[in-house]
Amino acid sequence: MKMWPTKCSLFMTAPDYGAGHNMVDAFAHSFQSAGGVILGKQFTPFQSMGDPAPFITEIRKSNPPMVFCFYSGSAAVAFVKAYNEFGLSKDIPLVCSGFAVEEDVLPAQGSAVLGARSGLHWAPLLDNQTNRKFTTAYKNRTNADANVIAVQGYDTGKIISHILNEVQGDTSNTSRLLEYLRQVSFASPRGPFKLDSKSQNSST
């Protein structure tokens, strides 16, 4: 299997809907800003990809040193398994948003997922006190395992609660709301949480 490619170029693939385009655009922006080259972008049907063969063939024809993908759920299973079955995983490293290889899809993907490189802002086994308390409380309350969506909901609730407490429930002044939004800081299951002062994205 190839080691991490030295050429700064890649092919991108994602489902054809809002989140797919957002993920591709965000990754491409940072990648190109660092000098990377996008060889091609591919958007597959949403919600069902259908037969993955034409999309895998298109990727192979572009002969990229690396592929970035954003998929989740059944589409993640279909894509990752096809990527392996068509032999691409042996030669072309797959880099993906963590949703593509999250705990909920790993059992269905099996060994096909081996070698994929991913990043996500939370994992159930993160070893910090807040995460241990959160996952235990979530399991007790819902009788289900916590997931990344539950953590995002928890963090969103903490942000809203913080701002409402600071403005004493008065949401009429937008400038004050934004001021307190920039000050948000707390211990999240994902680790110390605060928002970037410019983009207001999480800078955990």
CA-to-CA distance for 176 and 91, rounded, in angstroms?
53
Q: Convert 153-191 to b/e letters by CB count within 10 Å (16 or more is b).
A: ebbeeebeebbeebeeeeeeeeeeeeeebeebeeebbbe
Distance (Å, rounded) from C-alpha 7 to C-alpha 174?
46
Which of 36-45, 63-72, 83-92, 189-198 has the lowest average pLDDT?
Answer: 189-198
How far does the chain reach from its first CA to its final CA, in angstroms?
33
- pLDDT exceeds 90 at position 58: yes
Provide the whole-model pTM. Answer: 0.78
- H/E segment holding residue 118: strand 117-119
Instruction: Give the single-character DSSP code of 202.
Output: B
Question: Which fold is adopted by the domain 9-119?
Answer: Rossmann fold (3.40.50)
Q: What is the pLDDT of residue 201?
A: 62
**Confidence (pLDDT) at 103:** 86
pLDDT (0 to 100) of residue 4? 45
Buried b / exposed e across 108-139, counting CB within 10 Å, b at 16+?
ebeebbeebeeeebbebebeeebbeebbeebe
pLDDT digits (tens, 9 = 90+) for 2-57: 444 445 899 999 999 999 999 999 999 999 999 999 999 999 999 999 999 999 99
pLDDT the model gives residue 110: 96
The amino acid sitting at 29 is H
**Annotated domain spans of the chain:** 9-119, 129-194
Tens-digit pLDDT profile for residues 98-152: 899 988 899 999 999 999 999 889 999 899 999 999 999 999 999 999 999 999 9
| Band of pLDDT at residue 203, cut at 50, 70 and 90 | low
pLDDT category at 196 given cuts 50, 70, 90 is confident
